[in-house]
Amino acid sequence: MHSTIGILGGMGPLATVDFVTKIIRQTPASRDQDHVPLLIHSVPQIPDRTACLMEGRESPLAALSQGLNTLVTAGAGCIAIPCNTAHYWHPDLAKISPVPILHIARACAEQLSANGVSRVGLMATDGTLKAGFYGDALGQYGIELVEHSALLQQRVMEGIYRVKSGALHAGARLLEDCLQQFLDSGVERVILGCTEIPLALDSIQSPLGAYGVDATDALARACIAWYQAQQDQAVAA
C-alpha cells in the first residue's frame, strides 16, 4: 500500500490549508524527507454540504467521489477529509474506496476519551448536527454530547459563514462569544466541529481556545499516526 495521504479538501479552501499546516507542524521531523507525503485535492466547487442536508439542494457525493478517485489514481494510500459535514457521506465513500478513509469524529472521540473527558458540547454546522455522526462516535466511548439552543446554533452558523466569506475577524469574535456560552452551560470541553472555527479562534488568539477540542487537529494527528504505522510495517517487513 502507498504511504501517501490524499486530502479531499476545498471545503473550504482556508480550512484545507490550515489542515495541511497542522499535519506539517505536528510531524516529528528534522528534515524534509521526514514529513508525511501528501496529495491535495482542493476543489471549492463541491456543492454545499449543509445546503444539501438542510434544504435538499444538490448532493456533493458525485463530486466527492470524483475527488476520491482522483486521489486514489494518483497513488494515495489513505484519505482524509478536512470537512466535518462531508463526513455524512463517509459511509458511501468508504464503500467505493479501495483505501481507508479516516473519520474526523472518531479521531476526535478517541482523543477526548484518552483525556478522560465525559461531557462535551459541539460547535458545528446545521448539517453536521443533523447528520448525527458525532453523537454516534462519542457514544461509542461513553461521552455525553450536550444539546444547545436553536438561537445559539443560529449564531454559530452566522460566525462560520462570516469566516467563509472572508470576514475572519468578525466571524472569530462571534464564534468566541458562542464558545463562551457553551462553556457557561457546564460542559467540560467544546468540540470545534467545523474546520473554520479553530482557524478563526486562532486568528484572534482567543484564550477560550484552550477549552475547545479542534477536530481538524485530531484528524491531523490520525493522519500522522497512520503514516507512522505504515513506516513501521515497512521496516518490519
- Indicate if 192 and 224 belong to the same structural domain: no
Using an 8 Å Cβ cutoff, are 201 and 176 in contact?
A: yes
Cα torsion 203, 204, 205, 210: sign: negative
User: Measured between alpha carbons, how far is 192 from 208 in angstroms, rounded to an integer?
Assistant: 12
User: Measured between alpha carbons, how far is 209 from 203 in angstroms, rounded to an integer?
Assistant: 11
What CATH number corresponds to the domain at position 209?
Answer: 3.40.50.1860
Q: Please count the structural domains in the chain.
A: 2
- Indicate if 139 and 80 belong to the same structural domain: no
- Indicate if 113 and 174 belong to the same structural domain: yes
Q: What is the pLDDT along the chain (237 residues), one digit of tens a residue?
A: 589 999 999 998 888 998 999 999 999 999 999 999 999 999 999 999 989 999 999 999 999 999 999 999 999 999 999 999 999 999 999 999 999 999 999 999 999 999 999 999 999 999 999 999 999 999 999 999 999 999 999 999 999 999 989 999 999 999 999 999 999 999 999 999 998 899 899 999 999 989 999 999 999 999 999 999 999 988 887
- Indicate if 59 and 137 belong to the same structural domain: no
- Indicate if 149 and 55 belong to the same structural domain: no
Q: Which residues fall within 8 angstroms of residue 13, CB to CB, at 6 or more apart?
A: 42, 44
- Indicate if 49 and 112 belong to the same structural domain: no
User: Measured between alpha carbons, how far is 181 from 37 in angstroms, rounded to an integer?
Assistant: 40
User: Measured between alpha carbons, how far is 193 from 121 in angstroms, rounded to an integer?
Assistant: 10
- Indicate if 18 and 80 belong to the same structural domain: yes
Q: Which domain holds residue 141?
A: 105-215
- Indicate if 96 and 151 belong to the same structural domain: no
- Indicate if 114 and 210 belong to the same structural domain: yes
For Cα atoms 39, 66, 85, give the angle at the middle one, nearest 5 degrees: 80
Rg (CA), the chain: 17
pLDDT of residue 234: 86
- Indicate if 80 and 180 belong to the same structural domain: no
- Indicate if 159 and 91 belong to the same structural domain: no
pLDDT of residue 1: 53
- Indicate if 134 and 68 belong to the same structural domain: no
**What amino acid positions are annotated as catalytic residues?**
83, 194
